[in-house]
Structure 1
Amino acid sequence: MKILSLLFLTLFLGKGCSNEAKQDIASATIEYVANTRGFYQKIIIEKQMVTITEDRTGKEKVEPTKISDADWKELIDLFQEISLDEIKDLKSPTEKRFYDGAAIANLKITYQGTTYTAASFDHGFPPFEIKRLVNKINSFSKQQDED
């Protein structure tokens, strides 16, 4: 009986630790902003909804759109791959934003009451560590343009 209890306790504790290690995107808000003098785009992802606006003033009323289950699953996987504590230290692979060659992009993730902000980078050229996540975020804007 003691062996059975010990085995059960070991499995229970081991499973509890592995679940805590994964970041839950359902409790996160992701905000991606790209702008330059003649361009502005803001994408907010929260609770399987995406809101996209090109209104710099914030006066435009924009309705959120539901993210498909397949896209949401992919977004969950990509979100779990990144280290939130390290995004502030990521370096941009290009510097086109310094001479108006690209819009300035900013990524901000609010997760469990803490806001994690990446250093500015070129829109379309994110740091390697967050590239797949940023490209997925931008794909929602492309999908909206096609509709």
Structure 2
Amino acid sequence: MKTIALVFLSLFLTKSCQTKKGTTENAPVAEVVKTEETKPEMIENKLQTGTKVEYEAMSRGFFSKIVFENNQLTIASDRNNAEKGTVIMLTKEDASAILNLVKAVNLDEFPNLIAPSDKRMYDGAPHANITITSNGTVYTGPGFDGGNPPSAIAKLVSKLVSYSEKK
């Protein structure tokens, strides 16, 4: 009797797991915020750049993740659901401004940047990281204090963070 119950339960559980795998019922849903009224040309002419910028700052009681890809920003403040966040559709000018700031960064020297301070070492500031993906190559920058990035990426970081403050 135990064997039959065990076989029945294992079949039932594997079948229920397989049906949930393909559905998106429990997938996180992002909230969409528009900076301006979405114009038809913005939808049709999304900037397909191949550039992705991920900024993440965290401490014991703080978490912020900002992802720029194509012409939108995703801002998350929940460490456990970093994929679920607020989506901000950027105008063509805002997206171009961010791309110009990324182009100003020397990506070959990016991993060798030196943080101007070390407050993150003793919980004096959030620990921040930035990763830039350009044309399929991932460039990971050094860790730095949130609010005090290396001067080579200071404008890029402050531009990204400014959108989370507007939210």
Compute the RMSD of aligned alpha carbons: 1.8
Give the distance between the partners of 1:88 and 1:115, measured in 2 at CA.
10
Rate the CA distance shift 1:60–1:48 in 2: closer, same or farther, 3 A.
closer
Query: Does residue 1:91 correspond to 2:114, yes or no?
Result: yes
The 1-side partners of 2:134 and 2:83 are apart by 26
Query: What secondary structure, in the 3-state scheme, does the structure 1 residue paired with 2:54 have?
Result: strand
In the alignment, the residues of structure 2 paired with residue 77 and residue 105 of structure 1 have an alpha-carbon distance, to the nearest angstrom, of 22
**Which digits, 9 at most, give the CA deviation of each residue in 1:87-144, with x for residues without a partner?**
1000000111011110000001111111100010000000011111111111111111
Aligned partner of 1:124 in structure 2 is: 147
Q: Whole-Å Cα distance in 1 between the matches of residues 109 and 148 of structure 2?
A: 18
TM-score (norm 2): 0.68
Flag the structure with higher helix content.
1
Unaligned runs of 5+ in 1: 1-23
**Matching residue of 1:110:** 133
Change (3 A) 1:32 1:25: farther
State the identity %: 39
TM-score normalized by the length of structure 1: 0.76
Q: How does 1:1-147 map to 2 (within 5 A)?
A: 26-58=49-81, 61-144=84-167
Query: Could you report, residue by residue, the CA deviation over 1:14-40 in whole angstroms, capped at 9, with x for unpaired residues?
Result: xxxxxxxxxx98211110000000000
The number of residue pairs the alignment matches comes to 121
Q: Name the larger-Rg structure.
A: 2
How far 1:69 sits from its partner (Å)? 2.8
1:52-82 deviation digits (Å, cap 9, x = unpaired) = 0011112663342101233222212211111
The 1-side partners of 2:83 and 2:55 are apart by 17
